[in-house]
């Protein structure tokens, strides 16, 4: 069975993030649940909506164009290593 392109991109991004973590970089922040943002003062619908907008985009698969830019960067880094 063929995997969806988005799934492949997601897996590539996860791999990139794992590589990042292995190099001692901090893991990307995982957004908090919108209902936890306002703490004990009560529910804030605007803050929650803004946070949910953010979380929705963060949860989307990263488009191929972004990965293409990273691939270009990787190629430049590899070329730099090779030229040493």
Partner 1 sequence: MIETLTQPSKIDIEADIVFRDQLVAIIPALRSFARGLCGRPDLADDLAQDAMTRAWAARTSYTPGTNFRAWIFVILRNQFYSTIRKNARMTSWDPEVAERVLVEAPSQQDRIHVSDVAKALQKLPAEQREVLLLIGANGASYEEAAEIADCAIGTIKSRLARGRKALAALIEGPGDEAMFARKLRPADGRSHTPE
Closest CA to 12 of 68, 72, 73: 68
Nearer to partner 1, 2 or 41 (CB): 41
Contact 70, 16 (CB under 8 A): yes
Contact 31, 58 (CB under 8 A): yes
Q: Is 7 in the site for partner 1 (CB under 8 A)?
A: no
Instruction: Read off the tokens for 61.
Output: 């698969």
Would you give the binding string for partner 1 spanning residues 30-49, x where CB under 8 A is met? --x-xx-xxx-xxxxxxxxx
Instruction: Read off the tokens for 32.
Output: 């908090």
Residues that bind partner 1 (CB under 8 A): 13, 16-17, 19-20, 23, 25-29, 32, 34-35, 37-39, 41-54, 56-58, 60, 62-63, 65-66, 69-70, 72-74, 76-77, 80-81, 83-84
């Amino acid at each position: 069975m063929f995997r969806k392109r988005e799934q492949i991109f997601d897996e590539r991004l996860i791999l990139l993030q794992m590589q990042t973590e292995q190099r001692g970089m901090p893991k990307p922040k995982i957004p908090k649940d919108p209902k936890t943002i306002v703490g004990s003062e009560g529910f804030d619908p605007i803050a929650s909506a803004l946070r949910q907008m953010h979380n929705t985009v963060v949860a989307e698969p990263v488009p191929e164009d972004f990965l293409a830019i990273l691939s270009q960067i990787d190629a430049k880094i590899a070329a730099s290593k090779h030229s040493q």
